[in-house]
Amino acid sequence: MFITLLLISLVLAASLAFVGLRLLRPSLRGILNHVVGVEAADHWFRFAVFSLYITSVGNGVYGSRLERYIQQLHKDAIIAPLTVDSWVFEIYQVIERTLSGLACGAITFFIISLICLVVLRVFQMRSSAAVTNKP
C-alpha cells in the first residue's frame, strides 16, 4: 500500500510539473532569448526546465512525511494506517506542495531574470549615452 502511494505521488508530482512547465515554456524561452541571447538560450532553457522539475517534484513528494506510514518513531509508537482519508490528504498535499515548489522556482527565476534585464538596460543606456556624448 505504501509503495502504491509513493508511486502515485511521484507520477502526480511529475505530471503537475510537466503541465506547469508547458504553460511556462513560452515565457521562459522569451526571457532567456532576451537575457542570454538566442544562441545560448536553448542550453539555459534546458537547465531551467530541469531545475524547475527537480524543485517541484522534490517539494511535492516529501519522503520524510511518507515515512510515518512504514516506520515507528519510538518503541511504543503506532504506525499510522493508510486509510482513505489519509490517501486523500496525502494526494492533496502532493498537489499543493508540487505547485508551491514550481511557483517558488519560477518566481525565483523571474526575479533573477528581471534583475538581469535591469542591469542590461542600465549598460545599454550608458553605452548609448557615451556614444551620443562623443564629439
Q: Domain ranges in the chain?
A: 2-110
Answer yes or no: are the C-beta atoms of 94 and 13 closer than 8 Å: yes
Q: Which residue has the cell 549598460?
A: 123
Residues 41-66 have a mean pLDDT of 88
Residue-wise pLDDT for 4-44, tens only, equals 888 999 999 999 999 999 999 999 999 889 888 888 888 99
The pLDDT of residue 82: 79
C-alpha cell of residue 11: 507520477
The pLDDT of residue 73: 65
Residue-wise pLDDT for 79-134, tens only, equals 777 788 888 988 999 999 999 999 999 999 999 989 988 998 888 888 877 777 66
